[in-house]
Amino acid sequence: MLILGIESSCDETAAAIVTDDARPDQRIVSNVVLSQEEEHRPYGGIVPEIAARSHLEHIDTLIEQAMKTANVSFADLDGIAATGGPGLIGGVIVGVMSAKAIASVQKKPFIAVNHLEGHALTARLTSNVAFPYLLLLVSGGHCQLLIVEGVGRYKRLGTTVDDALGEAFDKCAKMMGLGYPGGPIVEAAAKQGDGTRFDLPRPMVGRQECHFSFSGLKTAIRRQIVQLGDEAMTDQDVADLCASFQAAAGDVLIDRCQNALQQFRAIHPGGDTLVVAGGVAANQTLGARLADLEASENITLVVPPPALCTDNAAMIAWAGLEQLKAGHIDPLDFKPRPRWPLDPDAPAAIGAGVKA
């Protein structure tokens, strides 16, 4: 089975071909990603209109490149998958309409993939992880803990009540004048810093549920910057702030995951796998902190390769393949969705701005 995947939900335009080969290292036949970082850098963040126009300009070329690299034709494909949401709606529309056009002309099944499910199932693409497992999804727009019980079957245990962790990274970097995207810059600066210098809050730590909050941590960073003086801050001050921010974020993730593991095992006795996915999963420092859970909680930690943690089309193609194998095909009148929760029945978390 060969699936073409298309991803355009944020600031990466991507296309990929995957197959259901029994060997995980043979499944990705091609995977092409075009980042828009340089286009958005002058604005210190993603501008939706610029993102949509860039997707429209490049998506045909990316699809052609993925097909050529895989040495396949449209006739060879078994289905066309595209991110149907959630995301910046202009970009999502570009990817969905491209996929629909190919599916219509080639008489192939069309599968609208939930972008979050793409992240959720990546560990099955790379490591054959069996259901059920606990998922920590951490990215620029999402921070959630979910039980993955099967394709299309998710139980959300916790979500952010304000900022996602990746968003907090970006905002802290911007406040310190470090540029965009913030995650890799903060991580690099933190390597030269002292994570114990600044006493920052650990929001939600010690509470019994599994929700997240990072706005207070972000505000604490701003107060430290004001106290130090924007113009008077040294490179060491910045490095120490970055390291302290990462230390606080790591403590929050560990505490929230421990709560979620208890709930996971109460529902699925013997559950022993924690998957970490999303762009923030590429952060090596946070990854090392989470790795400590393997021994303390007697679990198996699975983190996909960094290139498959950030947005890519291989994960969309794989999720489409799993959906198609489960018998799911979407009609060509599918409407792109700016919001699309994996667990639509999950109760709302306390606080405004909850991410779907």
Residues 185-209: tens digit of each pLDDT: 999 999 999 999 999 999 999 999 9
Q: Do 277 and 119 meet the contact criterion of CB atoms below 8 Å apart?
A: yes
Same domain? 101 vs 192: no
Same domain? 258 vs 312: no
Same domain? 286 vs 138: yes
| 338 found inside a domain | no
Given pLDDT bands bounded at 50, 70 and 90, which one contains residue 350? low
**CATH number, domain at 270?**
3.30.420.40
Q: What is the pLDDT of residue 348?
A: 82
Write the CB contacts of 323 (distance below 8 Å, at least 6 apart in sequence): 81, 111, 113, 151, 152
Q: What is the pLDDT of residue 355?
A: 42
Look at residue 176 and tell me whether its pLDDT is greater than 70: yes
Same domain? 62 vs 164: no
Same domain? 296 vs 210: yes
Assigned token pair, 322: 């799993």
| 356 found inside a domain | no
| 344 found inside a domain | no
Look at residue 44 and tell me whether its pLDDT is greater than 90: no
Look at residue 354 and tell me whether its pLDDT is greater than 70: no
Provide the percentage of residues in the chain whose pLDDT is more than 90: 92
| 339 found inside a domain | no
Amino acid residing at 188: A
Q: Poorest-confidence range of 37-46, 48-57, 68-77?
A: 37-46
Instruction: Report the predicted TM-score, pTM, of the whole model to 2 decimal places.
Output: 0.94
Write the CB contacts of 131 (distance below 8 Å, at least 6 apart in sequence): 148, 149, 150
Same domain? 175 vs 250: yes
Domain count, the chain: 2
Same domain? 102 vs 144: no
| 236 found inside a domain | yes
Same domain? 69 vs 118: yes
User: Which helix (H) or strand (E) covers residue 148, if one does?
Assistant: strand 143-150
Same domain? 311 vs 300: no
| 77 found inside a domain | yes
Same domain? 106 vs 214: no
Q: Which domain holds residue 267?
A: 132-305
Same domain? 301 vs 318: no
Residue with the bigger pLDDT between 107 and 140: it is 107
Look at residue 352 and tell me whether its pLDDT is greater than 90: no
| 145 found inside a domain | yes
Same domain? 183 vs 77: no
Best CA proximity match to 36, nearest among 17, 9, 72, 63? 9
- For 314, half-sphere exposure in the C-beta direction (CA atoms, 13 angstrom radius) is 26
Write the CB contacts of 336 (distance below 8 Å, at least 6 apart in sequence): 84, 85, 89, 92, 93, 96, 112
